[in-house]
Each structure stands twice: as structure tokens, then as C-alpha cells.
Structure 1
């Protein structure tokens, strides 16, 4: 047997099973026994519910659930996943994430695309003085307008291969956009990336970005281990600009691809003071 033939090959299915195992364990460990009617007494080796308790509440076999959480190659039905979702108190996004990792489709397959028609850039330019950008699900910055360069970060000065918001936020000194609520934003970004990754397990570009972030940023690694998932949403962000001070901006998303893989994010002021400061920055 050659050395090459003895090296195990990691497949997309292997990645999904490992991710499913870790996700189920993290959701199980966050539920306290007394929250679901079990006595809290007795020494527990790990926090949260035991596997047998999850199996009992979900109405499935203990061995079967143990195999599922261990990432074994077993068949699973939507009915059983629904019971586990209810038992683990998963919200809508977490439930969808569980189905995706288990290989059960909830909708049409998604495709990833980085090509944008010129009309999208024209739209971005017309939004000035409001900063706007287009992102794909991996947080790659595909396009931006001049207001985005002046108010948030001069993305044009950053090499194409580094124009990724996760990389700029967690691992690069180039990220000069100081959000006063940066901790919350970072948590939401990592959770959004984990949710999107479920549709791209085994893809080299996603795997490479994840590994680089884990190796470069202890904070990203810490947030990654929480196994939280989130969806893009309209959020008020507090920008602390060194020239004009605090701006309160609402980040609103508009999806520009049929399958929701690319979105345009526009930042609009939420008060008159922020509006005036924004015009000052863009027009200077």
C-alpha cells in the first residue's frame, strides 16, 4: 500500500457530520435540566442535558441519538429532526441550520456567485451620500460606493484578495472603521458566517478562510466555538469616526440575487445629527 492510498480523504459528508455533532452538543449543553423538568441534583460531567435526556424528551432511541451526535453515518428523517429541534429549543434559524447539516433540503439549492452586473455598481453610486456595499454569503466585498470609502473604510486601497469583512475585522490592521458597538457586531458576523457555511461545507475557499481566521484571531476562535448561528438583519450601528465623532447608522440589507447569496447593505443615518455629519464626511 502506498503512502498516498493510506491517507484518509475528508469528504463533504464527513465535514457535515462533524459540524452536526458539534452543533447538537453545543445546543444540548446550554439547556439546564430543571428547565425541562429533570431534577438538577447529581454530579454531571458536562453542563446541560445528558444525551439520554434529549433522547427521552424527543421520543427517539438513546443509541440512535448518541450515534447522531457522534456524527455517525445514519439516516435521519425530517420528523425526527423536528422533534430534536423542539427538545433543544432551537429558533427558526438554528432549526434550518440543523436540517442543512443533516442533509435535508428546506428549499432550492443555492449557488455562490461573485460576478456582478455593471447595473449594480450604478445603483450603489446613486445611493450617495449613503454608504453602500455588496457582499456575498462569505462576507467578501464585491462592490462599494464612494461614500462607503469615505465613511467606513477605503476598500479601494485594500488588495482584492483581502476584501473580506471577516478578515478585515478579525485579522487585519487595515480595518480602520471603529464601531462603538464592535463586540456585538463581531458576534453577529461570526454567527452569520457559521450559518452560511452549512451550505458550503467542503468547499476549499470557505475552508481556507475559516482556517486562516482560526489561526490568526483568538477572538474569532472563541466566538466560533459558541456554535451560534444568525441571519443578516437590519441593525443600528454606532460608528465612532475620528473626524466627526459618533454617527448612528442603520444597516439595511437588500438581496440582489434570487437565492439570497448576495446582498446590498446600505447605511442610513437614524437622526439629524448623524445625517449632517455624514454629509460633512462625504462632501469633504
Structure 2
């Protein structure tokens, strides 16, 4: 079992009391069989014993007892993570545990990015405007028929291939899709860098950057420049494989209840007869 650092000043008394009550309530709702422990004879009270939680969390019974006794101690994030596993906390409960302990909850994996039904209905209702929704790492998490008509198939791609950066830097066909691919690549990556700053410590972020860096010299070169660009609306100049050149402007919207989502809506501009080309693409789809 592991030990912790000596006690230090931690959260105020009300927070410690709430943390103690929360831990106790989660402990008492579990039985030994649920967590793979023997029943161990008749029990006077329901739930797990403190020493059992401590054992499962790989810490000492004394330290765990101090937490439930509202002692003024500070625990590490790894211990909180182990406590969450020991107590079988769901994602919301895990985040609550960290919040009560005054620490940000670590993100173990790419979090779920459910698109609110209202957003789904909004983009599907834009019949003549390509629209899509991007998640934290710029994966396509929703899109409409017009988006696929202009930007290519998304539905039948593997989930890991529904990523803006992977398509831009690893799909050879994207180089001919943009009238000025080097400019588009640099601007897109600078926008992604600014948008992803809150997630640089998340494992999925590191994995994504390392993967594309290993496979694309252009990505490595541009990423090393550390360019940052805000999510400004602007023009997009495409060379569609069948329709030809198309000029569009795009608008980026945020969802108040899901700020990690980006809604991108494209409007066809008159240049190069883009509205008519879009109509023909939608009619042929």
C-alpha cells in the first residue's frame, strides 16, 4: 500500500464535511461482492468497511479514516482517482469527488461529446447550407447532407478518421481540394492550437499530436511554429472534385450548454457560380 505526504492545510471545514459525507455515502451503498471481496461473516452495518476501501484504493486505513473524520489534510490526485475506482464512482461522481477536494478532475480519455438534440435538428434543417459540429479535438460529431456533398463522405469513415487534422494532413486528396492548401493548412492548425489550449494536458491531445507528427512532415513543421489564430469567420476557397471551384464563407457558433462543441455553417457566395454548383451537388446526391 502507498502512503501520502504529511497533512497540510486543505479545504475549509464545510467542504471537508461535505467530502466526508459523500465518501461515507458512497462506501455504504456498496457490498463486498460488488467489488470482489469476500462477505467475511455477518456485518452490523451495510456497505464496505473503511479498511476495505483503503485496501482497494491502495492507501492506509488511517488516512482514509481521517478523510471521513473531516481532518484538515490534502490528498493527491492519484489517490482521489484510486478512491473513485474503489467506490465505483460514475463520471459525474468522480468529478464531484475532485471538486470537493479542491482539485480538477483528470480526463482519462476522450470524453463523451453528445450533441444536444436541438443542435442536431438545427444543422439537419439547413438543407442548402453545409453544416457540421466539431468536438474538442476537432472530430466530426454531427453533420448534414450538404456537408457531405461538399466535403466528402463522413458517415462511412471509421470514427478515428472523422478528424479535421487527420483528413487535412494525412489524406492526399485534401491537398487538391483546397485552392491554396499550404495556406489552409497553416490557418487551420493555428486555429486548432488556440482552440485546444485548455486540453494540452489531456492524454488524447498528446496522442493526436504525436500520431500526426509521426506521419506528416508538414504537420511537424507547422506545429513547431507555435502559430495561434482565433476562430475568425472567413472565406473558404475549394476545388471540388466534380463541381470545380467553390467559394464559401463560414460562421462558427458555440453552444452555451456545451461550449466544447463548434457548429460550423457554410454559406455559398456568388463567386464562381457557387450557389448553382451547390444546388447541383445536392440534387445529384
Query: By the TM > 0.5 criterion, same fold?
Result: yes
In structure 2, the CA distance between the partners of 1:257 and 1:159, relative to structure 1 (3 Å rule), is farther
SS in 1 for 2:141: strand
Give the structure with higher Rg (CA): 2
Deviation string for 1:150-185 (max 9, x for gaps)? 111111121112211001110135758701132222
Structure 1 CA distance, aligned partners of 2:175 and 2:189?
Answer: 19
**Once the 2 structures are TM-superposed, how far is the Cα of residue 261 of structure 1 from its aligned partner?**
1.9
**Once the 2 structures are TM-superposed, how far is the Cα of residue 243 of structure 1 from its aligned partner?**
1.7
Structure 1 CA distance, aligned partners of 2:198 and 2:117?
Answer: 27
Quote the residue 1:44 is aligned against. Answer: none
Equivalenced residues, count: 175
Structure 2 CA distance, aligned partners of 1:266 and 1:116?
Answer: 16
Quote the residue 1:280 is aligned against. Answer: 280
**Once the 2 structures are TM-superposed, how far is the Cα of residue 279 of structure 1 from its aligned partner?**
0.5
TM-score between the two structures when normalised by the length of structure 1: 0.57
Deviation string for 1:111-142 (max 9, x for gaps)? 97511122222211110121110012321111
In structure 2, the CA distance between the partners of 1:206 and 1:127, relative to structure 1 (3 Å rule), is same
In structure 2, the CA distance between the partners of 1:212 and 1:224, relative to structure 1 (3 Å rule), is same
1:1-80 equivalence runs, <5 A: none
TM-score between the two structures when normalised by the length of structure 2: 0.57
Quote the residue 1:128 is aligned against. Answer: 127
Structure 2, unaligned runs of 5 or more? 1-106
Structure 2 CA distance, aligned partners of 1:113 and 1:253?
Answer: 21
Say whether the 8 Å CA contact 2:135–2:261 is kept in structure 1.
yes
Deviation string for 1:80-118 (max 9, x for gaps)? xxxxxxxxxxxxxxxxxxxxxxxxxxxxxxx97511122
Measured on the aligned residues, the alpha-carbon RMSD in Å equals: 2.2
Quote the residue 1:30 is aligned against. Answer: none
Quote the residue 2:188 is aligned against. Answer: 189
Structure 2 CA distance, aligned partners of 1:225 and 1:178?
Answer: 25
SS in 2 for 1:250: strand
Higher relative contact order (Cα pairs below 8 Å, separated by 6+ residues): 1
Structure 1, unaligned runs of 5 or more? 1-110
SS in 1 for 2:198: coil
**Once the 2 structures are TM-superposed, how far is the Cα of residue 256 of structure 1 from its aligned partner?**
1.8
1:153-232 equivalence runs, <5 A: 153-173=152-172, 175=174, 178-232=177-231
**Once the 2 structures are TM-superposed, how far is the Cα of residue 259 of structure 1 from its aligned partner?**
6.4
Quote the residue 1:244 is aligned against. Answer: 243
In structure 2, the CA distance between the partners of 1:217 and 1:124, relative to structure 1 (3 Å rule), is same
Structure 2 CA distance, aligned partners of 1:230 and 1:162?
Answer: 24
Say whether the 8 Å CA contact 1:249–1:267 is kept in structure 2.
yes
